[in-house]
Structure 1
Amino acid sequence: MDEDSHEQVVPGSDEELNTPDVQGYEFRGEFDFHDLLDSYATTGFQATQLAEAIDIAKQMQEANATIYLTCTSNIISSGLREIVASLIRRGYIDVLITTSGGLTEDVIKTAHPFKMGEWDADEAALRERGINRLGNIFVPSDRYVWLEEFLYEFFDEFFAEESVRTPTAFAYELGEALDDENSVLKQAAEHEVPVYCPALTDAEVGNFLYYYRQQHDAKIDIKLLDDYERLIEGGMDADTTGLIAVGDGVPKHHAIMTNLFRGGADYAVYISTGMEGDGSLSGAPPNEAVSWGKIKAEETNYTQVQAEATLVFPLLVAGAFS
């Protein structure tokens, strides 16, 4: 046997690793859900990342951190809406940052449910039927007809005394007007959790504000800088901050960008399917934010779970917040 080639194929090793053994849940005896989650730490791959995320979310609570939750609109489109509302109702979230679609879809769901659909649908036929597709969720267009009527009545009161308002005021007063315990905005208003929406016009709200201003009052406007200042100063006043970013885009970046002013967030958990290779913010992992000073550089204070949120966010909440 050629000794050189044998060394290439079976090089051997002298070092004994002192890390835990890879081992998963055995499903022996009585099932224990939390034991299952604990086993993720030594399962490997994204299960181990989720175990890290659960641990960091627990550290946030132990440190009495100001916890920011950021989410994109598809989180509210899905059944994760109820989980977000629950976290706010139970006092775990101090700041919510979301998108305009997150606001509008929360409002719609207080009166009209979204419906289960299918991924493989005839898109042209759906258009003819007046059905909008969000993945395998169907949203009939009559929901948006209702939304327009609801918002027009809301706008009359919202702009009655002040013609220039902020997105946080918009979200708060919307929440006060809603009657649904599973509404994210209602829970946020009741528990005084500010809801920031830096891209308020990027959904039906923007369309209806445009029409409303054209038809009713050219002086109405939405201003952003007051909210930005409030968000920055809130972070600077906090002793410790923790971020849980469910999805990417503007909400995630708004959270880490405003934490830059205080020297970075103390803890961060990302749940993301974004790809780092295109250089986008959506694909940027938390260690890239460290290079910008948006997250503090510690060994165990941040992690990313590369997975679709409906699969892992409920497990994170069950493991860290229940």
Structure 2
Amino acid sequence: MTDEDTHSHVVPGSDEELSTPDVRGYDFRGSFDFDDLLQSYATTGFQATQLAEAIDIAEQMQAADATVYLTFTSNIVSSGLREVVAYLVREGFVDVLITTSGSLTEDVIKTAKPFKMGKWNADEGALRERGINRLGNIFVPSDRYVWLEEYLYEFFDDFFAEEKIRTPTAFARELGATLDDEDSVLKQAADNNVPVYCPALTDAEVGNFLYYYRQGYDAEVGIEILDDYDSLIQDGLLADETGLIAVGGGVPKHHAIMTNLFRGGADYVVYISTGVEGDGSLSGAPPNEAVSWGKIKNHETNYTQIEAEATLVLPLLVASAFKQE
């Protein structure tokens, strides 16, 4: 093999000129412009470019006046993203919320007792002795849940007074109406007539307290989830177009795309996820997998996924697609 042969393997060359944009990041020389910074993400590459695509799709949702679903897991409310979600609801940018039971309980707690910053590498045994629960680098003292139990028991008395079988959306709506905190997701949803679907309502402290309440106070009370499923499907069928922003995975994400299947798929979709595709889980499944199931419509530019932790990118997405004027 000659030097010319080996050189052709190492540097094969190319006669093709690509028509795509040049890779180029933000130029920090001169005055700083936040909007220009986010626009530069389109040509920065990697997940910055995915975020730029997500911003564009979120803007398309708004331009099309799509019915927008926001799905999120409870850790979003545990963090400072609670205020971001409340903003989206307050300003009318989202029409449907789908979340987990932990989101509801933690939203209620934060109306009266804040969560506190902690650290990742805490002494877990010492925290247990002190009555402190750890969520990543966020600390939640156990007295929050003592207060929550008392609050919910009083709420249950009124909630089940006239109807013994209620739905999760009714639970979220009526609970939100009792709250007095402008940063509460449930309060904003109740005030702005945005339904909050929680198909796994018992999978947190709400479930524990409902269990004790039914055992000790009223054996006839219960939660019916099928009525909510009917409503979610029927409302989706009536929508001209739908958009989905899925923050994290699990039940909320799948509930949104599954009910959109009945209408032939969602029209615009943004996933923000750290889930991995390799294990075959729904949480890690990218949007093009949902296309194969008919849960997302098949267009080249109507869906994207940002592989990143939500606290890093959701505020940037909201700042650019929903706040910038």
TM norm structure 2: 0.99
Q: 1:285-322 deviations in whole A, cap 9, x for unaligned?
A: 00000000000000000000000000000000001001
Q: Name the counterpart of 1:205.
A: 206
Distance of 2:11 and 2:287 partners within structure 1:
37
Match status 1:146 vs 2:147: yes
Q: Name the counterpart of 2:33.
A: 32
Other structure's SS at 1:170 match? helix
Match status 1:281 vs 2:266: no
Other structure's SS at 1:153 match? helix
Q: 1:135-182 deviations in whole A, cap 9, x for unaligned?
A: 000000000000000000000000000000000000000000000000
1:43 Cα offset (Å):
0.1
Distance of 1:27 and 1:12 partners within structure 2:
33
Q: Name the counterpart of 1:309.
A: 310
TM norm structure 1: 1.00
Q: Name the counterpart of 2:104.
A: 103
Distance of 1:28 and 1:227 partners within structure 2:
53
Q: Name the counterpart of 1:232.
A: 233
Report the AA paired with residue 227 of structure 1. Answer: D
Alignment of 1:142-221 (within 5 A): 142-221=143-222
Alignment of 1:77-88 (within 5 A): 77-88=78-89
Other structure's SS at 1:14 match? coil
Alignment of 1:6-45 (within 5 A): 6-45=7-46
Q: Name the counterpart of 2:115.
A: 114
Q: Name the counterpart of 2:249.
A: 248
1:2 Cα offset (Å):
1.7
Q: 1:87-121 deviations in whole A, cap 9, x for unaligned?
A: 00000010000000000000000000000000000
Other structure's SS at 2:240 match? coil
Q: CA RMSD in A?
A: 0.5
Distance of 2:117 and 2:181 partners within structure 1:
20
| Number of residue-to-residue matches in the alignment | 322
Report the AA paired with residue 4 of structure 2. Answer: E
1:28 Cα offset (Å):
1.6
Report the AA paired with residue 231 of structure 2. Answer: R
Q: Name the counterpart of 2:293.
A: 292
1:214 Cα offset (Å):
0.1
Report the AA paired with residue 18 of structure 1. Answer: S
Q: 1:13-62 deviations in whole A, cap 9, x for unaligned?
A: 01000000000001121111000000000000000000000000000000
Report the AA paired with residue 203 of structure 1. Answer: A
Q: Name the counterpart of 2:258.
A: 257
1:70 Cα offset (Å):
0.2
Report the AA paired with residue 50 of structure 2. Answer: Q
Q: Name the counterpart of 2:270.
A: 269
Q: 5+ residue gaps in structure 2?
A: none
Report the AA paired with residue 236 of structure 2. Answer: G
Other structure's SS at 1:175 match? helix
Other structure's SS at 1:262 match? coil
Report the AA paired with residue 76 of structure 1. Answer: V
What percent of counterpart residues are identical? Answer: 81
1:241 Cα offset (Å):
0.0
Q: Name the counterpart of 1:321.
A: 322
Q: 5+ residue gaps in structure 1?
A: none
1:201 Cα offset (Å):
0.2
Report the AA paired with residue 165 of structure 1. Answer: R
Distance of 2:5 and 2:288 partners within structure 1:
40
Other structure's SS at 2:262 match? helix
Report the AA paired with residue 165 of structure 2. Answer: V
1:219 Cα offset (Å):
0.7
Distance of 2:275 and 2:255 partners within structure 1:
17
1:3 Cα offset (Å):
1.5
Distance of 1:255 and 1:189 partners within structure 2:
20
Report the AA paired with residue 232 of structure 1. Answer: I
Alignment of 1:36-75 (within 5 A): 36-75=37-76
Report the AA paired with residue 123 of structure 1. Answer: E
